[in-house]
Amino acid sequence: MHGLQAKAEPARVKSALSTNAVKPGKSGRMTQTSFTLHASDGRARTGVISTPRGDIRTPAFMPVGTAATVKAMLPESVRETGADILLGNTYHLMLRPTAERIDRLGGLHVFMNWQRPILTDSGGFQVMSLASLRKLTEQGVSFKSHIDGSKHMLSPERSMEIQRLLGSDIVMCFDECPALPADRDRIAESMELSMRWAARSKAAFGDRPGHMLFGIQQGGLEQDLRQQSAEALREIGFDGYAIGGLAVGEGQEAMFGCLDFAPGQLPEDRPRYLMGVGKPDDIVGAVARGVDMMDCVLPSRSGRTGQVFTRLGQLNIKNARHQDDPRPLDEDCGCPTCRNYSRAYLHHVFRSQEIISSMLLTWHNLHYYQELMDGMRTAIAKGGFAQWASEFHALRAQGDIDPL
């Protein structure tokens, strides 16, 4: 459905990728979305997803805007951190203010004042984690709202309808995802259901130029189930492929173990999206294994709880060691928080439960995440990813600066 644009080939583009990169889409015309790989280094890759609403530089980190806002941030500030795309949550938005209302108001982009690309999840994951009285059938999931107890249902068809009403640029298939650990039979059964739902999602999505539909690979940590899932998805055919069912409690080692094979099971010429990941070192490890896109609430949620990410690891602004410290969170960070505020101030406003604490710490954390992505993109383009990753780990191993 979407073609891959041929672009000037940087020195380090692998031949396998550049060959794929000139294949036109099935329709034979240059459609309004594309994925162009610019370079790869080991299994890490950098490129651009183009959409009518703007380009998404990959590897990309997508801040989460659950209820039509990235919490404690104005959208123009989110953009200033370097984000090319936001994630919106179908489950939350369908309950409040409802997809129909957002549609009447001109769609999610207008509603929340973010004109760049938006990816929406399918609602499947959060129905399982948030809703009550869930009933799962072949048709879909019925449930009660965690907000007001009202009854709702989600199915592949309804999820596609909601994501269309929202005006999402990148739509996710409706899937089911069991928490790990789960036994192999349960994982296989769930994966197979998700693959049937993927086919129904594709059929319900239809032909929507300028919008992309991503399939979601399932199969837990089982290589053969992941392979079956990948084959089923490739057979259906998607504009991008997500790796689902990870970051659900399995731990980094198990997740990396899975990422050692899962991305390679997916088409090389389509974006690969690892859902719900993660900590900075999770992200670096995922990119090293061929992942192109990620999302996580961690930088924004941590901003509200006083947890700060810097090149030197993590710090807790609530700690008394910061109360007289005139230094910024990170001397080398260019974000407004680090340019204008001391640790002492951030400690004070956090302790005083002032809203500006969430605003400034979220801004810093999102800025840090985007700088991380930018650093990786540059390093991959130069063929220096391994060295970059080694410096990343060495800096973090130092830990936060000493107290004064």
Q: Write out the residues near its own copies by the rule CB under 8 A.
A: 67-69, 71-74, 96-97, 101, 104-106, 111-113, 323-324, 326, 336, 340-342, 344-345, 347-349, 351-352, 354-356, 358-360
Closest to its own copies by CB, 61 vs 350, is 350
How big is the chain, counted in residues?
Answer: 404
Closest to its own copies by CB, 28 vs 149, is 149
Q: Give the integer Cα–Cα distance in Å for 271 and 33.
A: 12
| Minimum gap (Å) between residue 67 Cβ and its own copies | 5
| Minimum gap (Å) between residue 111 Cβ and its own copies | 5
DSSP 12: T
Q: Write down the residue that tokens 């994630």 correspond to.
A: 87
Decide: residue 246, CB within 10 A, 0-12 exposed, 13-18 middle, 19+ buried: buried
| Minimum gap (Å) between residue 353 Cβ and its own copies | 9
Query: Would residue 52 be called left, alpha or beta, if left means φ above 0 and alpha means ψ between -120 and 50 degrees?
Result: alpha
Closest to its own copies by CB, 136 vs 356, is 356
Is 175 marked active-site? no
Q: Write down the residue that tokens 């794929």 correspond to.
A: 20
| Minimum gap (Å) between residue 106 Cβ and its own copies | 7
> Which phi and psi (to 5°) does residue 350 adopt?
-65, -50
CA distances from 196 to 125, 199, 240, 271 (A): 17, 5, 17, 22
- Tokens linked to 356: 């500006």
Closest to its own copies by CB, 57 vs 304, is 304
Closest to its own copies by CB, 204 vs 329, is 329
Among 175, 239, 292, 295, the one annotated catalytic:
295
Among 121, 175, 239, 282, the one annotated catalytic:
121
Please choose, from the candidates 53, 54, 74, the residue with its C-alpha nearest in 3D space to the C-alpha of residue 63. Answer: 74
Q: Give the integer Cα–Cα distance in Å for 368 and 310.
A: 7
Closest to its own copies by CB, 133 vs 355, is 355
Is 295 marked active-site? yes
Residue 159 near residue 202 (C-beta atoms within 8 A): no
- 3-state per-residue secondary structure call for 285-336: HHHHCCCCEEEECHHHHHHHHCEEEECCEEEECCCHHHCCCCCCCCCCCCCH
Which residues are known catalytic residues? 121, 295
